Amino acid sequence: MSTTYSASAAADKNRPMSREERKVILGSSLGTVFEWYDFYLYGSLAALIGTHFFSQYPEGTRNIFALLTFAAGFLVRPFGALVFGRIGDLVGRKYTFLVTIVIMGASTFIVGLLPGSESIGILAPILLIVLRCLQGLALGGEYGGAATYVAEHAPNGRRGFYTSFIQITATAGLFLSLLVILGTRTAVGEADFAAWGWRIPFLLSIVLLGISVWIRSTLNESPAFQKMKEEGTHSKAPLSEAFGQWRNAKWALLALLGLTMGQAVVWYTGQFYALFFLGSILKVDGATTNLLIAWSLLLGSGFFVFFGWLSDKIGRKPIILGGCLLAALTYFPLFKLLTAEANPALHQAQQTIPVQVLTDPSTCSFQFNPVGTARFTQPCDIAKAALARASVQYSVEALPPGTSTAETSIRIAGGAPIRATDPTFQQQLTAGLSSAGYPLASNSSVVKMSGPFDIFREQPAVLIGVLTLLVIYVTMVYGPIAAALVELFPTRIRYTSMSLPYHIGNGWFGGLLPATSLAMVAQTGDIYYGLWYPIVIALATVVIGAIFIPETKNRDIFEAEESGTNARA
């Protein structure tokens, strides 16, 4: 495709955004708000949902099923991308992503109405899983449709700016869900929230759905798709053309490896893993963790639009790949600073109190458990998992191969070994760590905010600063990504082609980040070792993207297409 602009296209760059274009952006962006609003709701309330829909099982099994149901939404997203991407390239952008928002919003709302297993028995968890799969399928088609629709309405030279508003709503969805959960808990109290109040955030989603459907129903089809339909150049078989022909399939593969794979891990590290790290590893209480993350989102979210705008000036590649590179180079010092500020006593103990696991390393498992179904019962696994839960830094001292697993033990600060097979192992471990100087989770040095505006002390101020920087990395990789993906593929197969790499990147590479990082921490005894997962993937994306991904900011996606594909210069 030609990279030159017509005189009218050049004029488009400088005109103000029209009322119709603002409506297009708003209507399209609400789907992404839904996506992350629902994601955070279910993730935050999974334990409560488990008690209501899997009450016939013991607590451990209940939690496993709740996590499996959560994971189902991730696993089916790429299939939704294929189904709705095909429909979007055949029928049109507007009607397809109107259907996806209805399915997604209705499924979220119905979760709030669904009777629990005490009322309807096994039917309750079955219906819950069906609803989660419907949400995942709809999400698979939602983002590609919204990004394509907005980009095809945007004038040349402003696609990065226009599509960046879709990107900012991902964070808006997280922020909104955070406020709704906190507000509902405060309004009804913890006991009522656990009994029935958790349904309110799901039920309130009907407001988002109503607004989104109303706006989307008034929108027109995208001009690029309309032009293609009038010229009769639309694809008759989008799936086979997008992925059955190597000249097109290779760009989907490169989009995954050279753009969305790195974008996804930076996104999940900056917002989800940071939240997990503060709460589960550094033992910061839930309210403080949520407030710290909320402030960082509030301060950093404007950069989505800034980097989208900047990508129209200097290109998509330097910003996306630059964000991946900066993140990879600075994650270790930034997360160490989080530890030093959030829990100074724990940080000091990790530096000064040596702890060893004495075991035959061949008996240890890699504790990768993305949906909570695996069970690790070897003494080595029990010892490592217990230390990981306590956020203890440890090393492994290898016993001779063939040593009985009963000999596996933990030695704290050179003291007597504590055998992992001892019936009182957990009590001995807790006492040993405490006497050696490891602080309790509730020690007085842990950061604690007294309210939303308790941000002017050193601890919360520094933590908000670090978390905001992590969010800025997110905005660098995510702000321009929609424009970059849209411009990489021809109109006739754009919806199909861009949706699949996006959802594999974010649903699988990003979605597996917490489980993978936690397994790496447990394997090595280093609370920072899990950061190697996003670092290696981000660096791989930098290399692949720099070599194989073309700069696309000057492409005119409104030009007629020859032979059904873009000439990718």
CA distance 159 to 224: 13
Q: Position 325: which residue type? A: L
CATH pick for 354-436 out of 3.40.50, 3.30.60, 3.40.30, 1.20.1260: 3.40.30
pLDDT for 4: 43
pLDDT for 48: 80
What CATH topology corresponds to 19-234?
Answer: Growth Hormone; Chain: A; (1.20.1250)
Q: Where are the domains of the chain?
A: 19-234, 240-343+447-554, 354-436
- Give the pTM: 0.85
pLDDT for 2: 40
Q: Interior CA angle at 313 toward 4 and 325, to 5°?
A: 120
pLDDT for 3: 43
Bridge partner residues of 409 (DSSP): 358, 419
pLDDT for 262: 97
Q: Do domains 19-234 and 354-436 have the same CATH topology?
A: no
| Rounded-to-10 torsion of CA 443, 447, 452, 455 | 150
Below-70 pLDDT ranges, the chain: 1-17, 35, 43, 56-68, 70-71, 233, 369-374, 558-569
Please tell me the CATH superfamily of domain 240-343+447-554, with its number: MFS general substrate transporter like domains (1.20.1250.20)
Structure tokens at 9: 């296209």
pLDDT for 548: 96
pLDDT for 11: 53
SS3 558: coil
CA distance 492 to 228: 7
Tell me the CA distances in angstroms from 467 to 13, 166, 270, 477, one per residue in order: 34, 22, 7, 16
